[in-house]
A = this chain, B = another copy of it.
């Protein structure tokens, strides 16, 4: 953990001082994205020090050939890699004959990065003394337009400080890029065409195998003292996959010059002719001009913040943390396109591959439901509906029949691409979260239509999977689920993981109920689906039998549900009694030692209590929370948020606050010493939940918003907004009271600390803290 790395600020992420050791970490933290594309905060100019280059386009992937030590039947042949896309940000800089490279300059001073989250831009500035003695001041601003989401703009400005300078700006596009995590060091891009005209250039390339065609483009303008010039390229270098222009300017000491580079991608997912599309989008951007584009960006982000901001008063680090989380979520996914999803690293890195994990359903959907239009969450659900056939195919591969569906652990296009048997084949609980999200969407939005339209088919595929995956134990006289890995990946191939068994039973029950409901209320949908999936009453009875007789391991002694069979046979040394030097255990211990230890990577039984809070008493929660928290090492980014929410519910506010900080500043403070690989995007939605559901105590029960507001003693107050069934409720919480207000013309009945109140339209109502 490095608490001094990022300067505390309410609205910006700021780094001061140049340190070669933190370049890769900062490249992650200062990443920018607009939902359609994103990029790490790589330098535009050459940099010979350690760097991790990354620019990513949503929906563009490469099925890299799987790499395994020992092949197991059922492994997928390909692993969908998040693709490092052609570089369009590059600008080589030559000053008085010397190439600018921060790694080789004589001196770098006043280096500063700022990611302005409020306005959605990234700025970098520094003063450098080159080996040739020229001192320069450099200011670079870069943003990816939310409005024109195929376009990014860089304004790269240089001022010579101690002498006149001949500056050559050499902007380029380079499709000769590779992935750091390529399995076989292959190239993923095949160059097709390089074109240029005047100040514009276009490199068209396509991905091998998947044949996504992408035109990467740039348009350059040179400015002197802020005024556009008509300077045109003095030289153009082109190869099969790269093109570079040279613009020469000679400026006096203290005179500013800059290059404005407009670049980005047009992709065959959206255009038949990507080059024509690129030409068009450049024209649109040029017509607006840099200043208007920037203003549009500021306005667009203002609109996003208007709905999704959480304010925290009196705790800058907590404020900065939550905004960073909300900002990154919005940079990653804006919900416009049901072909897209929320990758675990978003646009900040390549690691893990794939764009879609159970994280989306278990952690991200609540955030998007509450801070966006309902359509956004519905798009995320539709994504899985569209991949149902592939999930059925995947289940067939593993020996299931009759339309049983097993959604993949990791995917881009619906095909499984993870290859570690204990996860790929056994972390089947993911199927449960996908069903839960359908339930959760209806619970939150009140919009049932998704279920008869699409959701029910998904539910039936999932229920069929659980029905077949469970087997009857004559020994226990109940149904069991053997050989699984639960959310806690520090156990593999266990029997009767409580979370998995519970959500399996729930899926069966819930699907059964939805079939009844659709049959009654949506008879034509019921008919259509019945004909398609051919479900019989005896099959339904057979589901019911499994659901009604599911086995759940329980300890009478500890009065807790057991994470899995045999958990109590472990050497139950609590985390508090474990030598600090042994942690994190995932770095200090061999895998077998982790597996047989009692230590939990992430909430597992407690994840079940989180999803199905209403199914258990508060006393049950308390017993289970206290038991399992004592063994949880939180070495998954997805863990602390659930513990924070439950600690708050159990009035353990100090603990809740500690977990909140851990989840919200996980990347900013680099808790796990790995931020250089990218940020933990999906867990950021958990951070949002730990404020809204944890401290705010928001729940949906019987079509109503419930709150039981609490506030950490470190804060003066905090506020958030909720889009609940198309009404925007603002919640302001201080130590004294909680105020609710609503935009619009409709009143809203809510329940606060168990008491029903009505929030009148355009009026604030306050409730004292009880």
Contacts and interface: CB of A to CB of B under 8 A. Distances in A.
Nearest to A558: B475
A472 B573 CA distance: 12
A425 B67 contact: no
A494 B421 CA distance: 15
A590 to B, nearest CB: 3
Given A471-B571, A495-B566, A421 B592 contact: yes
A492 interface: yes
A594 B591 CA distance: 22
B475 A569 contact: yes
Given A69-B66, A69-B67, A493-B492, A74 B571 contact: no
A595 interface: yes
A746 B557 CA distance: 67
Contacts of A73: 586-591, 594
Nearest to A590: B74
Contacts of A666: none
B474 A572 contact: yes
A496 B590 CA distance: 20
Contacts of A494: 493
A397 B592 CA distance: 11
A593 interface: yes
B482 A566 contact: yes
A176 interface: no
A425 B495 contact: no
A493 B494 CA distance: 8
* Residue from A66, A70, A472 with most neighbouring chain B CB atoms (10 Å): A70
**Interface residues on chain A, size class:** 35 or more
A714 interface: no
* Residue from A474, A476, A586 with most neighbouring chain B CB atoms (10 Å): A474
Interface in A290-311: none
A482 B570 contact: yes
A456 to B, nearest CB: 27
A68 interface: yes
A360 B69 CA distance: 24
A426 interface: yes
Contact of A596 (B482, B591, B593, B596): B482
A398 B592 CA distance: 8
A420 interface: yes
B565 A566 contact: yes
B568 A473 contact: yes
A480 interface: yes
A399 B590 contact: yes
Interface string A413-424: 000000111100
A234 to B, nearest CB: 46
A534 to B, nearest CB: 23
Given A492-B493, A586-B73, A593 B420 contact: no
A90 interface: no
A591 B72 contact: yes
13 contacts: A66-B69, A67-B67, A73-B594, A398-B590, A398-B592, A398-B593, A471-B571, A471-B596, A472-B571, A473-B568, A483-B592, A483-B595, A492-B493
